[in-house]
Chains A and B, each alone.
Chain A
Amino acid sequence: EPEVTQTPSHQVTQMGQEVILRCVPISNHLYFYWYRQILGQKVEFLVSFYNNEISEKSEIFDDQFSVERPDGSNFTLKIRSTKLEDSAMYFCASSETSGDTGELFFGEGSRLTVL
């Protein structure tokens, strides 16, 4: 069964460092998403991406964040200068262009710890 894969599963970094989280969406999906969950809090939407551009972003997704689809398979989230409050689980998801709205397929998540 096709699945969304994410790497790394866990990354520890120092405050101020750049981090790149990687995702391989399901191959025939065209919408891609990043969500995050700070420990004990809600799963929060960060950004959605379609046709090689951001289609929607939340207020969390400020200038420190960027997304890219550098090739036909990967979808990356970059945090330029990490802060302590960026520590969270980051989930990548993908969905088809047609079909039921809202049926997202999620990866297992990448846990980011900023020290």
Chain B
Amino acid sequence: GDSVTQMEGPVTLSEEAFLTINCTYTATGYPSLFWYVQYPGEGLQLLLKATKADDKGSNKGFEATYRKETTSFHLEKGSVQVSDSAVYFCALNSNTGRRALTFGSGTRLQVQP
């Protein structure tokens, strides 16, 4: 079945540091890939997405590239801010007719000033 594996957190960084959160997946078909973010006290929000191989999703300085050969969708940001502190979830939709998303376990990012 479909599955998503994320690096365990928490990830603690200083402001302006480079961020990578690893995500790999297993899926049938040709999945769409997503990163959702959950800020403290809020619901999950779509951060970025990619729907086919080699696509790059980007938003708010975050980027992730759909790598079919390595079945990965790692999230990166060149310079994190304190306001980026949140839980980040990698997810996929297998595009086999299901509309449900399969999520990873989430990675908590803590950015210190």
Which residues of chain A have a CB within 8 Å of any CB of chain B?
3-4, 6, 31, 33, 35, 37, 40-45, 48, 55-56, 58, 91, 93, 95, 100-109
Q: Is the CB of B99 within 8 A of A102?
A: yes
**Beyond A40-B105, A42-B104, 16 extra complex contacts between A and B, CB < 8 Å:** A6-B43, A33-B99, A43-B106, A48-B99, A48-B100, A55-B99, A56-B98, A95-B99, A101-B93, A101-B95, A101-B99, A102-B32, A102-B49, A102-B99, A104-B46, A106-B44
Our count of residue pairs bridging A and B at CB distance below 8 angstroms stands at: 70
Chosen A-B contacts, 13 in total, with CB atoms closer than 8 Å, are A6-B43, A33-B99, A41-B105, A42-B103, A44-B103, A56-B98, A100-B51, A101-B93, A102-B92, A103-B49, A105-B46, A106-B43, A106-B45
